[in-house]
Amino acid sequence: MAEVLLEVNHLRTEFKKRKGKVTAIDDVSFHIDKGEIVGLVGESGCGKSVTSLSIMRLLRDTPGEITNGTVLLGGKNLLELSDKEMHAFQGKQMAMIFQEPMTSLNPVMRVKEQIVEAIRLHLDMDQAQALKHTEKMLTQVGIPDVQQVMNSYPHQLSGGMSQRVMIAMAMSCYPELLIADEPTTALDVTIQAQILDLMRELNQKNGMSILLITHDLGVVAEMCSRVIVMYAGRIVEQADVETLFAHPRNPYTQGLLASLPRLGQHVDMLPSIPGTVPDLANMPAGCKFAPRCKYAMDICTKEEPKLVDMEKPGCKCRCWLVEQQMKEEGKA
């Protein structure tokens, strides 16, 4: 039996607006085992990044607040920690690769100063050892002229180079949990492969657990053991990679997988999901995907389905059609 590292239970995060509050993520529950890589997928605006920021407790400078739930890391509820206690967790026990590196790096500190500071805070190293470790981590993320980059300020780096610096910093203290929010978006294909190989190596050698947030289902298939699919702030399907790719149950998951390009397929022939993710301030009644779903029934527009267990252990789905099919098969 695998040991659970991260356990998120009934998490809800709301954002204050001029006309009240909107719910960005609602009743989100999942877990990540020690040494496991889990993928979190969905369209832009579905709640993936808000979920990661909520787990890391990095909503302070936003209008967002966690209004329900627990986030347990190693059995300790992070939502009950003081800011000082949480700061000690960030970097060593858990770290995050942000989608926008330029907003996460300190503009008035050189690259080496920022990484060394994190290393010395969490690892038993003196200044010389920390500098050597910084050089090693920057080399591992594919930075060619390491010394020049170490002595640069963030504004002197390109977007791709800044992203690699952020990745090196996040992984430099070998955290138990790495949350990677679109870690390879700004990088070319060669560097993408290098970063993913490094993440996989740290996972295998150090037992580092990873929550990989991405649009790239190909990366999910290659890297992850389980997948969580989100839509409109809710989890709509969870399954192991093999099951999800072979037998997706939720119509939204089916649409995501159908939109993957196939070898020899013309770009004009790629299917897409009609419509867009609903506005948080104007959510439809019932199933949030119903307005875009070709299988929508009358009940779908009136009542929201629950996330129910599927036949295979660990697999869950939120869909009235799936519930109906299971009842007909006598499995519900």
Please give the share of the chain, as a percent, with pLDDT higher than 70: 96
What is the model's pLDDT at position 61? 80
**Distance, CA of 213 to CA of 202 (rounded, Å):** 17
Q: pTM for this one? A: 0.92
Mean predicted lDDT score pLDDT of the chain: 91
Highest mean pLDDT (candidates 93-107, 154-168, 250-264, 284-298): 284-298
Strand order in the sheet with 64-73: 20-33, 4-17, 64-73, 76-77
pLDDT at 267 over 60: no
Task: Report which secondary-structure segment, H or E, holds 161.
Answer: helix 159-171
DSSP letter for 106, please: -
What is the model's pLDDT at position 263? 63
What is the model's pLDDT at position 266? 62
What is the model's pLDDT at position 264? 63
**Distance, CA of 200 to CA of 178 (rounded, Å):** 11
Task: Read off the pLDDT band of 185 (50, 70, 90).
Answer: confident
CA–CA distances in Å: residue 163 to residues 117, 150, 155, 172, 203: 18, 14, 12, 14, 20
What is the model's pLDDT at position 265? 59
Could you report the per-residue pLDDT of 321-332, keeping only the tens digit for each?
999 998 888 765
Task: Read off the pLDDT band of 159 (50, 70, 90).
Answer: confident
Q: Which domains does the chain have, with CATH numbers?
A: 4-224 (3.40.50.300), 254-261+270-328 (no CATH)
Rounded mean pLDDT of 32-59? Answer: 95
Structure tokens at 78: 């992070």
pLDDT at 191 over 90: no
pLDDT at 121 over 70: yes
Highest mean pLDDT (candidates 24-38, 84-98, 254-268): 24-38
